[in-house]
Amino acid sequence: MQPIKIYKTLYSLFGPQNWWPVTDKGGTKPTYRKRKRLTEKQKLEVSFGSILTQNTSWRSVMLSIENLRKENLLGIDGIIKANPKKIAKLIRPSNYQNQKARYLKNFAKYVKKKYNGKTNDFFKKNVSDLRKELLSIKGIGQETADNMILYAAEKPSFVVDAYTKRIMERIYGEKFKSYNELKDFFVGKFPQNVKFMNEFHALLVVFAQQYCTKNNQKCRNCPLHSECAFHSRN
């Protein structure tokens, strides 16, 4: 089964996901809504969320984001000035709070230093350069970098996460040793446009959570059941 067919099947089942959830003007929490274009503030919120959601459920991350907003800390300058312990306390719900407080500061300091705090200028760069710069920041690994490129900078990039790995290894019946090996597998197999890549990744997440679970207890009603190598073997 081609990746494009996986996409079509999941899309017809779940519909558009409209990622990444962000807070609208005057709102108090991130929501999934259709939006034409992100404001600079929203791009920053997506960036922070990308870091906070590392190995953590989105539900917990929302609490952290709400906490940060209450203290007016969803901005470059705010994070730079804030005491690390204060940040850690606010983002505690999303786990690894001390580490992630550092990561947020690293990101903010980088944008401040290299782009005078203008997140928009940073995200205007071409994908290749942007990715390199993101990866140079301690706390931003490959997945977080791709995530920011796709959902904050709104440029084409394929995000590989634990869900993607699990799904693909089951469907295709082969192991992918590294992040890049899995990413390379998809090269040339689907359109390289933002909308498609945005929805594809989001759909894979929803699919993994609802059907392709770790304990494979939900295989029974799986929409990709018949074309899954894992299922065929069992």
Partner DNA sequence: TACCAGGTCCTCG
Partner DNA sequence: CGAGGACATGGT
The single residue among 23, 119, 144, 157 that binds DNA, judged by CB under 7 A, is 144
157 near DNA, judged by CB under 7 A: no
21 near DNA, judged by CB under 7 A: yes
Q: How far apart are CA 158 and CA 1, in angstroms?
A: 19
142 near DNA, judged by CB under 7 A: yes
Long-range CB pairs of 22-25, under 8 A, 24+ apart, other chains included: 22/46, 23/65, 23/69
Torsion 131-203-57-66 (CA) sign: positive
- CA-closest candidate to residue 65, choices 93, 86, 37: 93
Long-range CB pairs of 95-102, under 8 A, 24+ apart, other chains included: 95/55, 95/56, 95/60, 96/54, 96/55, 96/56, 99/139, 100/51, 100/52, 100/54, 100/139, 102/138, 102/139
| Token reading at 72 | 């007016």
Total residues contacting DNA by CB under 7 A comes to 41
215 near DNA, judged by CB under 7 A: yes
177 near DNA, judged by CB under 7 A: yes
Closer by beta carbon to DNA, 151 or else 230: 151
The single residue among 23, 54, 67, 157 that binds DNA, judged by CB under 7 A, is 54
Torsion 36-38-39-41 (CA) sign: positive
139 within 8 A of 97, measured Cβ to Cβ = no
Q: Single out the segment in contact with DNA by CB under 7 A; choices: 14-22, 113-121, 187-195, 219-227.
A: 14-22
Closer by beta carbon to DNA, 86 or else 116: 86
163 near DNA, judged by CB under 7 A: yes
Closer by beta carbon to DNA, 7 or else 103: 103
93 near DNA, judged by CB under 7 A: yes
Closer by beta carbon to DNA, 72 or else 209: 209
Q: Single out the segment in contact with DNA by CB under 7 A; choices: 65-73, 183-191, 213-221, 225-233.
A: 213-221
Closer by beta carbon to DNA, 161 or else 199: 161
Least CB distance from residue 159 to DNA, whole Å?
A: 8
Q: Is 194 helix (H, G, I), strand (E, B) or coil?
A: helix
166 within 8 A of 212, measured Cβ to Cβ = yes
Closer by beta carbon to DNA, 7 or else 20: 20
By the criterion CB under 7 A, which residues form the site for DNA? Answer: 19-21, 49-50, 53-60, 92-93, 95-99, 137-145, 147, 151, 161-163, 177-178, 205, 209, 213-215
